[in-house]
Amino acid sequence: MTADDPSASAPPPPPVAVAVVGGGVSGLVAARELALAGVEVRLFDAGDRPGGRLRGERLGDPAPPDAGPEIDIGAEAFATRGGVVAAYLAELGLAGEIVSPAPLGSWLVSSSGAVRLPAAGTVGIPTEPLGRPSVRALGVLGALRAAVEPALPRSVGRGGSLGAAVSARLGSRVLERLVRPVVLGVHSREPAEMPIDAVPGLSEAFARHGSLVAAARELRDGRSAAGGAVAGLRGGMATLVAALEAELRGLGVEIRTGVAVAGMERTAPDAWALSDGAGRRIAEARAVILAVPETVARRLLGAEPALPEGRVEVVALRVADSRLDAAPRGTGALVASDAAPGIAAKALTHVTAKWPHRAAGGDGATDHVLRLSYGRLGREPETAGLSDEEVLRLAVRDASRILGIELRPESVRAMRRREWLVGRAPGASGRGVPLPAPPDVALAGDWVSGTGLASVIPGAREAAAHIIDRLGGTPHRTGQHTGEAARGAARETPRQTRREGAPER
């Protein structure tokens, strides 16, 4: 070590058993599994606070950052399929906080107008093609085309992407008016880029029945539909992040925010050294979990670069307009591709209609929260490079056209915007060479296990279980309730979350 070495000014950090890189829900879940198994863990996150896409934002009026109701600026619900997320929330003592959205239904906006979406089994596939809602959405010919799907040979649509299978078996109208808007809204990617098995349960149900309509019905009846039934948390999805953070503190996990891990090298057969952007060594660990985007994981492991992730921007508006009390588009609307260029947003959520208990966060009966989503995989979001004033004008225009109500810019009391990265689905086209990870490194995130908490949580637990096994430990039993104990410990344990640059406590 020389005087010019950037790490010379600080003593080397004490070694830790496992370093978790990334403080989104994947990293937090993996860190919890490790800590419950008695493994010493240190978690690093580049952001100012953990949570990733489950973070909340204040939608204040006027500008103090702590004013106004808190909203979900990222994920605002979870799929109920399989009960995976509900069981995990119960482990954290949050079962009583689970709420269902208002039963208002959602809409589809296309060039031919706005129609209520039919009840779907999964990713927009209609379960009753000749039902009135399906006929309204698809037209008579489109509904008839979809209705004959169960009579088609099993071989039709096999071996291709989700988009190709839907088009071949159900017709282009089902693809363009139902499946494509749902997949873009939920997964931010084109159905043509997704294999059928990227949708949990769909490939297996299709194999059993030889029909996508029958498969969708099975998934609906089994409450395992992706893009189907959802639930949320009374205080917003950020409640999950707060509970995980509290439990990690109670378990003695150090969370270091504001630390971007930029380098990773093996220093011994059973040791890794992590460094920051200035080359300073920030951790030594026997094993590492990379709960980061695929491009970051590949760079840290020195692997072949991947195609860049997609970018999505969420724009949230707090609007004072009593005409929204009637929830003209129910809980929200998806935008069909043929609605462009008239509407740039791909979806709108009427937050205070979908989650009525959140409306009390405002200070007036006519305050409403609207969320618009922009961008999809392979394309820049339409908001990229725009100033806040330009984004406000675009969002008000899009919301007006989607809702069928001419909103006034002056009715917007506050706006927040947040951009997110969206990885490619496992098995999706364009993924390139698979990323090989050393035995003492595990990968976690939506690009590894699939989109949504119902996929991400089990994936993160599997990553942690792999590392625990590697270290010779025993994972804790799934379903074991730890929330109350952890919160009690958190009240008695000094806070372990430390912002980079802050003094050690």
Domain end position, chosen among 377, 395, 422: 422
Q: Which residue has the higher pLDDT, 377 or 169?
A: 169
Number of structural domains (the chain) is: 3
Q: Whole-angstrom Cα distance, residue 374 to residue 393?
A: 14
pLDDT in tens, 68-110: 678 898 889 998 877 899 999 999 999 999 999 999 988 988 8
Query: Span 48-58, mean pLDDT?
Result: 88
Q: Whole-angstrom Cα distance, residue 477 to residue 5?
A: 45
CATH number for the domain including 29? Answer: 3.50.50.60
State the amino acid at position 364 in one-letter form.
G
Domain end position, chosen among 230, 256, 280: 230
- For the chain, give the percent of residues with pLDDT over 70: 83
What's the predicted TM-score (pTM) here?
0.82
Q: What are phi and psi of 79, to 5 degrees?
A: -75, 135
- What are the b/e assignments for 438-468, b being 16+ CB within 10 Å? eebbbbbbbbbbbbbbbbbbbbbbbbbbbbb
Statement to judge: residues 294 and 432 lie in one domain = yes
Whether residue 94 lies inside any domain: the answer is no
Range of the domain at 389: 310-422
Statement to judge: residues 298 and 432 lie in one domain = yes
**For the chain, what's the residue count?**
505
Contact between 107 and 329 under an 8 Å Cβ cutoff? The reply is: yes
Q: Whole-angstrom Cα distance, residue 441 to residue 18?
A: 9
pLDDT computed for residue 480 by the predictor: 53
Whether residue 4 lies inside any domain: the answer is no
Statement to judge: residues 174 and 146 lie in one domain = yes
Statement to judge: residues 126 and 217 lie in one domain = yes
Provide the token pair at 178: 């139902």
Q: For the chain, what is the radius of gyration of the CA atoms?
A: 23
Cα(first)–Cα(last) distance of the chain, in Å? 28
Statement to judge: residues 121 and 218 lie in one domain = yes
Domain end position, chosen among 381, 396, 422: 422
Whether residue 111 lies inside any domain: the answer is no
Statement to judge: residues 300 and 438 lie in one domain = yes
Statement to judge: residues 24 and 47 lie in one domain = yes
Give the residue ranges of DSSP H helices in 225-328.
238-250, 294-301
Whether residue 336 lies inside any domain: the answer is yes
Whether residue 99 lies inside any domain: the answer is no
Statement to judge: residues 416 and 436 lie in one domain = no
Question: If you search the block for the tokens 């999706």, which residue do you land on?
Answer: 428
31 has pLDDT over 90: yes
Query: Span 456-474, mean pLDDT?
Result: 92
CATH number for the domain including 361? Answer: 3.90.660.20
Nearest to 456 by CA among 81, 19, 47, 35: 81
- Tell me the β-bridge partners of 412: 319
Whether residue 101 lies inside any domain: the answer is no
Query: Span 184-191, mean pLDDT?
Result: 78
Q: Whole-angstrom Cα distance, residue 187 to residue 390?
A: 26
- Highest average pLDDT, of 177-186, 219-228, 318-327, comes from 318-327
Statement to judge: residues 322 and 416 lie in one domain = yes
pLDDT in tens, 258-291: 999 999 999 999 999 999 999 999 999 999 999 9
Question: If you search the block for the tokens 């660990």, which residue do you land on?
Answer: 285
Statement to judge: residues 300 and 445 lie in one domain = yes
Choice among 28-42, 142-156, 268-282, 365-379 with the minimum mean pLDDT: 365-379
Give the residue ranges of DSSP H helices in 149-270.
162-170, 172-174, 180-187, 202-209, 212-221, 238-250
- What are the b/e assignments for 129-162, b being 16+ CB within 10 Å? beeebbbbbbeeebbebbbebeeeeeeebbeebb
- What are the b/e assignments for 274-309, b being 16+ CB within 10 Å? bbbeeebbbbbbbbbbbbbbbbbbbbbbebeebeeb
12 has pLDDT over 80: no
Choice among 117-121, 132-136, 198-202, 241-245 with the minimum mean pLDDT: 117-121
pLDDT computed for residue 362 by the predictor: 45
DSSP 8-state secondary structure symbol assigned to residue 135 = H
Using omega within 30 degrees of 0 as the cis cutoff, is the peptide bond preceding 12 cis?
no
Q: Whole-angstrom Cα distance, residue 277 to residue 289?
A: 19
Determine the 3-state secondary structure of 493 from DSSP: coil
- Cα torsion through 424, 427, 432, 433, rounded to 10: 120
CATH number for the domain including 148? Answer: 1.10.3110.10
Query: Span 164-169, mean pLDDT?
Result: 94
Question: If you search the block for the tokens 């004490």, which residue do you land on?
Answer: 14
Statement to judge: residues 302 and 432 lie in one domain = yes
Question: Chain-wide mean pLDDT for the chain?
Answer: 84
* Displacement of CA 269 from its chain's centroid (Å): 35
Strands 98-99 and 230-233 turn out to be antiparallel
DSSP 8-state secondary structure symbol assigned to residue 176 = I
- For the chain, give the percent of residues with pLDDT over 90: 53
For 270-289, the three-class secondary structure string (H helix, E strand, C coil) is: CEEEEECCCCCEEEEEEEEE
Query: Span 183-203, mean pLDDT?
Result: 82
Statement to judge: residues 416 and 437 lie in one domain = no
* Displacement of CA 374 from its chain's centroid (Å): 15
Whether residue 70 lies inside any domain: the answer is no
502 has pLDDT over 50: no
pLDDT computed for residue 474 by the predictor: 74
Q: How far is CA 325 from CA 105, 114, 145, 149, 318, in A?
A: 15, 18, 37, 40, 13
